[in-house]
Chain A
C-alpha cells in the first residue's frame, strides 16, 4: 500500500471502519512512513464522536478488577526494571506537585463534578495508573504522602500483594490456586496485630487458578492479610491454617 492509498483510508482508519486486512495494511505502512501526521487530525474528529456519547457510571466492581489487573502486572516478579517496588516511579518524583493554595489543573476541568462519585477503588486505580504515566507529567493532587507497597509472596501460588496506604486499599492476587473440593472456598482475612481476623471476602479463582481481590482496609506494619480454605460461603473466623499470608 502506498502513501496515497493510505491517505485515502486514514479517515476510515481513525473511526475503526476498516476491515482487519485494510487496518493491518495501513498500520504496516504507518510503521515505516512518517508522512501521515494528518492522522492525528482525523483522530481528533473521531474523538468528537466519543464525546458525543453520554457518560455512564461503570459498575463499581470494574474499578477493582482493573486495579487488580494493573497491580498484578506491576507486582509480577517477571516485571521489568523497577518492579516489584514501584515507589521510585511515584509521580511525586517525576513531577512537582502543586503547592497548597496553588490552583490545581483538575479544578478547571468538568471532572470536578465527579468528585464524590469516586470510591476508594477508583482513587486507587487512578493512583496506580498515574504511577505508570509519569511521562505525561500527570499530577496527582494530595498524593504526595502516598506510598505504595508491592511484593510477591507465596511463590507456590504466584501471590502478589499491593498496598496503597493513601487509599487504604490492599490488593491480593494469585496466579495459581489449587482447585478446591466441592463445598470449600478460599477466604481472605485481614488481621490487625493482636486482634481477631476479619473476613475480607472470598476468592473466586478462574479455571486456571487465577484470583484477585481488592480489600478496603487500613494496614500497618505488623498487620497481616491471609488466605485459608473454609466452607463454601465463608466462616466467621478461620477454621484452618492459612495457605498464604503477607502484609505491608
Chain B
C-alpha cells in the first residue's frame, strides 16, 4: 500500500504540472493537496471513492484554482495551439517517468471520444477553462458545451470498468 502512495504522488504531480505547466507551482499544489487529504482524513467516507481518486480530485481543483488565479482570465493562447493540445493530449515530453496501464487505457478512452467532446473536456480539465469560457472560445452555446461535457464524462466513466483495478 505504501507504494500506492508513491504512485499517487507522481500522478498528482503530473496532473498539476499538466494544468499549470510550471514545476514550482505544481509542487505547491501537490503539497497543499496532500495536506488537505491529511487534514480531512478523519472526516471522509471511504465508500464515496478511493483515496487515490480523492488525492487527484483535490489536486485538480487546486491546480485549476491556481491557474485561474495566475491568469486571472484563463485564455488559450490561440486556436492553433488549442487544436494541437487537443490532438496530442497536451502531453509533456520531458521527465515522464512511466506510462502505466491506467495511463494507456485512459488515454485510449480519451482518444476514443468524438473530437468535439474531447476538445471540450480537454479545455475544461487541462486548460482550466469554465464552461462559459469554453462556449466563448468555441463560439457555441453554453448548452452545447454542457451536453458535450456530459456525454464525454459518461463515455469515459463507462470505460472505467475496464481500467479500474480492484
Name the CB-closest residue of A to B65. Answer: A16
Which B residues lie within 8 Å of A129 (CB)? 5, 34, 37-38
Chain B residues numbered 17-46 whose CB sits less than 8 Å from any CB in chain A? 17-18, 23, 27, 30-31, 34-35, 37-39, 41-42, 44, 46
Closest 4 CB pairs of A and B: A45-B153, A51-B106, A111-B3, A45-B157
Assess A70 versus B165: contact at CB under 8 Å? Given A15-B124, A46-B125, A58-B10: no
> In the complex, what's the smallest C-beta–C-beta distance from B25 to chain A, in angstroms?
12
Chain B interface residues toward A at CB < 8 A? 1-7, 9-11, 13-15, 17-18, 23, 27, 30-31, 34-35, 37-39, 41-42, 44, 46, 48-49, 51, 53, 56-57, 59-61, 64-65, 89, 91-92, 95-103, 105-107, 109-110, 121, 124-126, 128-132, 134, 146, 149-150, 152-157, 159-160, 163, 165-166
Q: Are B18 and A48 in contact (CB under 8 A)?
A: no
Q: Are B97 and A11 in contact (CB under 8 A)?
A: no
A28-69 CB mask vs B (1 if < 8 Å, else 0) is 000000000000111111111111111111110011011001
Interface membership of A139, Cβ < 8 A:
yes
Q: Are A125 and B5 in contact (CB under 8 A)?
A: yes
Q: Are B11 and A53 in contact (CB under 8 A)?
A: yes
Name the CB-closest residue of A to B102. Answer: A51
Interface membership of A106, Cβ < 8 A:
yes
Name the CB-closest residue of A to B91. Answer: A54
Name the CB-closest residue of B to A111. Answer: B3
Q: Are B157 and A49 in contact (CB under 8 A)?
A: no
- Among the interface residues A8, A9, A58, A113, which one has the most CB atoms of the partner chain B within 10 A? A58
Contact of B152 among A45, A59, A106, A108 (CB under 8 A): A45
Q: Are A51 and B11 in contact (CB under 8 A)?
A: yes
Contact of B3 among A47, A55, A63, A118 (CB under 8 A): A118
Name the CB-closest residue of A to B96. Answer: A54
Name the CB-closest residue of A to B110. Answer: A52
Which A residues lie within 8 Å of B91 (CB)? 53-54
For the complex with contacts A54-B98, A55-B103, A130-B1, 10 further pairs of A-B residues with Cβ separation under 8 Å are A9-B146, A15-B121, A52-B89, A54-B99, A55-B11, A55-B96, A106-B3, A109-B3, A112-B3, A118-B2
Assess A50 versus B11: contact at CB under 8 Å? Given A45-B157, A129-B37, A141-B2: yes
Q: Are A55 and B46 in contact (CB under 8 A)?
A: no
A110-142 CB mask vs B (1 if < 8 Å, else 0) is 111111011000110111111011011111110
> In the complex, what's the smallest C-beta–C-beta distance from B17 to chain A, in angstroms?
6
Q: Are A49 and B1 in contact (CB under 8 A)?
A: no
Task: Give how many A-B residue pairs fall within 8 Å (CB-CB).
Answer: 239
Contact count band on A = 35 or more
> In the complex, what's the smallest C-beta–C-beta distance from B13 to chain A, in angstroms?
4
Which B residues lie within 8 Å of A117 (CB)? 6, 97
Q: Are B27 and A59 in contact (CB under 8 A)?
A: yes
Chain A residues numbered 123-163 whose CB sits less than 8 Å from any CB in chain B? 123, 125-130, 132-133, 135-141, 143
In angstroms, Cα B43 to Cα A136, docked, is 11
Q: Are A48 and B157 in contact (CB under 8 A)?
A: yes
Q: Are B2 and A11 in contact (CB under 8 A)?
A: no
> In the complex, what's the smallest C-beta–C-beta distance from A139 to chain B, in angstroms?
5
In angstroms, Cα B103 to Cα A69, docked, is 30
Which B residues lie within 8 Å of A200 (CB)? none
Q: Are A70 and B163 in contact (CB under 8 A)?
A: no
Chain A residues numbered 11-35 whose CB sits less than 8 Å from any CB in chain B? 11-12, 14-19, 22
